[in-house]
Chains A and B, each alone.
Chain A
Amino acid sequence: MPCISADGKPTATGIATLKSLKDGPLTPEEVAGKTGQPLFKVRSGLRELKSAGFVEEASEKFTLSKTGNDAIQ
């Protein structure tokens, strides 16, 4: 998986995605713009990060959860 490794921790791509959210909620398009990743990878990665509890989604924007915030400290 591109954003979550087998042990359930964020990969380097996952950390980059999480860091892009540290200043507030973003749409997948905005995350793609900030990280330089292709949009399809960002959407797939955010889905994984959400499923693993690192991000939350509201009104088509993604934000860091407490777990996600802890992961990038």
Chain B
Amino acid sequence: MSETQEKMETPILGHQAPDFEAQTTQGTLRLSDYKGTWLILFSHPADFTPVCTTEFMAFAEIYEDLKKRNTELLGLSVDSVSSHIAWVRNVEEKMGVKIPFPIIADLNKDVAKKYGMIHPQQSKTETVRCVFIIDPESKIRAMLYYPLSTGRNMQEILRLIDALQTTDKYKVATPANWKPGDAVVVPAPTTIDQLEERLKEQGYECKDWYLCKKKLPES
């Protein structure tokens, strides 16, 4: 087993996100600086590479939509701050897209190891395309892992934030392919009394007693 594999940690959904202090393109940041806001911590393999450049432009495109959802973006790769700065300037000059969010320069891989971002079968040195959605209490709420060859889908990331925030607000679940405005899934009854009550109540669309949906007030 290589040294990288031995020391790599595996984040768990619902656990506190590992704390860190890191150099970024916007100064020294700690995970705790994001307390009270949702955070999308994401890694990319390397600066000045084509798929990563398309992803960064796409992340920049949804940045304002994320801010409306009280959500910040924080990128990461094992490149230096100087490399990050040169790359984002290049993206702005050549592609006309300003990168408004900070990027961690994780040269010693401290953060990458804490979050299990290096998958040796993909690359022994570069971080794969990870996405960690961290809630305002610093808990890991969702994780996505994409291989080096596949760029991420920003609409899915927005949808995931919407789904998590809707779940928290209304104590419901979201069905497959859910998007804001669609009916949500209500938890199945756990007692006969709850079941009988549910069947008498208005506003549910039930396929059977355990699969009921309802529209949310604001949708």
Which residues of A are interface residues toward B (Cβ below 8 A)?
A: 1-3, 29, 38-41, 43-45, 47-48
- The dominant DSSP class at the A interface is helix
Residue among B28, B32, B33, B34 making CB contact with A1, cutoff 8 Å: B28
Q: With an 8 A cutoff between CB atoms, is B16 at the interface?
A: no
If A38-B72, A40-B72 touch, whether A48 touches B27 (CB-CB below 8 Å) is yes
Q: Is the CB of A2 within 8 A of B36?
A: no
Q: How many angstroms between the C-alpha atoms of A50 and B28 in the bound complex?
A: 14
Give residues 23-75 of B contacting A (CB, 8 Å).
26-30, 32-34, 36-37, 72
Residues of chain B within 8 A (CB-CB) of A44 are 26-30, 33
Q: Is the CB of B34 within 8 A of A40?
A: yes
- Told that A2-B26, A39-B33, A40-B33 touch, could you supply 13 new A-B pairs with CB distance under 8 A? A1-B28, A2-B27, A29-B36, A38-B37, A38-B72, A39-B34, A40-B29, A40-B34, A40-B72, A41-B27, A43-B33, A44-B27, A48-B28
Residue among A29, A39, A41, A47 making CB contact with B26, cutoff 8 Å: A41
- The dominant DSSP class at the B interface is mixed
> Which B residue's beta carbon lies closest to that of A41?
B26
- What mask results when residues 1 to 41 of chain B are scored 1 for a CB within 8 Å of chain A, else 0? 00000000000000000000000001111101110110000
Size category, B interface: 10 to 19
Q: Is the CB of A1 within 8 A of B37?
A: no
Q: How many angstroms between the C-alpha atoms of A44 and B36 in the bound complex?
A: 14
Q: Is the CB of B27 within 8 A of A39?
A: no
Q: How many angstroms between the C-alpha atoms of A44 and B32 in the bound complex?
A: 10
Q: Is the CB of B72 within 8 A of A1?
A: no
Residues of chain B within 8 A (CB-CB) of A47 are 28
> Which B residue's beta carbon lies closest to that of A46?
B33
Residues of chain A within 8 A (CB-CB) of B29 are 40, 44
Residues of chain A within 8 A (CB-CB) of B72 are 38, 40
Q: How many angstroms between the C-alpha atoms of A45 and B28 in the bound complex?
A: 9
What are some 29 contacts across the A-B interface (CB < 8 A)?
Answer: A1-B28, A2-B26, A2-B27, A29-B36, A38-B72, A39-B33, A39-B34, A39-B37, A40-B29, A40-B33, A40-B34, A40-B37, A40-B72, A41-B26, A41-B27, A41-B33, A43-B30, A43-B32, A43-B33, A44-B26, A44-B27, A44-B28, A44-B29, A44-B30, A44-B33, A45-B27, A47-B28, A48-B27, A48-B28
